[in-house]
Amino acid sequence: MTRVALVTGGSRGVGQGIARALLDDGWVTYVTSRHGTGPDGSIALTCDHADDVAVAAVFDRIGADHGYLDLLVNNAWAAPRGFGGFAEPFWQRPVDDWDTLIGIGVRAHYVASVHAARLMTDAGSGLIANISSFGSRGHLHSVLYGMSKSALDKMAFDMGTELVGTGVYAVSLWLGLIRTELLLSLGVDEFAGFDLRRAEDPEFVGRVVAALAADPTLPEKNGHTLITAELGAGYGIVNNDGTQPDSHRSAFGGGALFPPAGDHS
């Protein structure tokens, strides 16, 4: 049966790379963006993820086209004014940073997950994957950035708990440094202390997501936060140039991820 995926925010960067990898793996791949653009071969839909009606229309379209959805990659994200590694502490930032980092960075993921879970539970299978980061573990960019990523991890855990027995699973993924076109255009060898030669290609993340969706041990990972570099190493997945990306776990304190040790619900 045809595998159907939706990548939100799939017109550029990480989302575009994930979509490309899924297309290469044979998935029918829908992508959303505010301008209705996406990689060649994808089904690009115009959607502002701050608009619940527009989000619902995306899932109505997928339901009408196929009647089911195998994979949702929650990647939509909106940068607040001045984003780029905030120099100011939180009390010097405008409070409307909340509207993008929480309103889009968290709420839009929840809304998309609600619609995806309806299609998936009706079909009895599916995977919801939140794109999170090590900002859950250590300070990265700003207070609200860290809050938003931590929320995605807890969201996946609680969704996974409620999805038990449905055949649908939820995970949160911590990506490391990503070799986006924008980052590579800077002409630097490292960023924030991390070697770009050992960073992750956007397509690498997509190949990891595809392998995770097909992993027979996926039920054991339900509700968990997972590190894409470590999953890739386990699956034998490498970057486009054959390199194995580094995990940033040790740089952010090491230790177990979410859920807390001993809680394997």
Catalytic residue numbers read: 145
CA dist list (Å): 153 to 139, 213, 241, 257, 261 = 16, 18, 30, 9, 15
Contact between residue 208 and residue 17 where contact means Cβ atoms under 8 Å apart? no
Q: Which residues pair with residue 102 across a beta bridge?
A: none
Q: Which residues pair with residue 191 across a beta bridge?
A: 194
How many other CB atoms sit within 10 Å of the CB of residue 35?
A: 11
- Burial class of residue 226, CB neighbours in 10 A (0-12, 13-18, 19+): buried
Question: Which residues, including other chains, have CB under 8 Å from residue 168's CB and lie 6 or more apart?
Answer: 117, 120, 121, 124, 125, 126, 127, 128
**DSSP-derived secondary structure for 160-187:** HHHHTTTTEEEEEEEE--B--HHHHTT-
Alpha carbon distance 182, 167 (integer Å): 38
Alpha carbon distance 222, 158 (integer Å): 10
Contact between residue 101 and residue 80 where contact means Cβ atoms under 8 Å apart? yes
